[in-house]
Amino acid sequence: MTKDYQLGLLYLVKLLIEADGVADEKEIAALRIIKAKENIPDEIFTEFETRISTLKEREIYEAGIDCLHHCTLQEKRNIFAILYKLSEVDGRVHLKEIKLLLYSIKTAGVEFDDVVNQAKITAAIF
């Protein structure tokens, strides 16, 4: 996958993890699992961590969406399928997580049904 795919995924994962105001241990562990499953190199992960340390929530969102604009439709579907699965990791799906997912999916120009179908064939995070 491309750097834009990897960074876009990381930015949106970060936002989803913090959407409900609580970064659950399972969600933090899920971030490490996603990094490994998506073969995100340490350099890109370090770049991500450095960037988010100085950005506000809105800027992280904008950076993530900007990366998505450089992704293929299938890469976008994959990202949102992973986010969909991640939203379930802590055992509850918070309203703010749903809003973030729906708004991001719409902004990226992806059909929600396509994301649900992709999520059905995407392996569980845990």
Domain CATH code at residue 26? 1.10.3680.10
The verdict on residue 33 lying in a domain is yes
Distance, in Å, from the CA atom of 48 to the CA atom of 87, rounded to the nearest integer, reads 21
Half-sphere exposure in the Cβ direction for 16 (13 Å, CA): 32
Number of Cβ atoms within 10 Å of the Cβ of 48: 21
Distance, in Å, from the CA atom of 89 to the CA atom of 30, rounded to the nearest integer, reads 8
**CB 120 within 8 Å of CB 85:** no
Supply the range of the domain harboring residue 35. 3-121
Q: What is the mean pLDDT of residues 54-68?
A: 96
Number of Cβ atoms within 10 Å of the Cβ of 55: 14
DSSP 123: P
Q: How many domains does the chain have?
A: 1
Distance, in Å, from the CA atom of 6 to the CA atom of 1, rounded to the nearest integer, reads 7
Give the rounded percent of residues in the chain with a pLDDT score beyond 90: 79
The verdict on residue 101 lying in a domain is yes
pLDDT in tens, 80-101: 999 999 988 877 788 999 999 9
Rg (Cα) of the chain, in Å, rounded? 13
The verdict on residue 126 lying in a domain is no
- pTM, whole model, 2 decimals? 0.93
> Residue 20: what pLDDT?
80
The verdict on residue 107 lying in a domain is yes
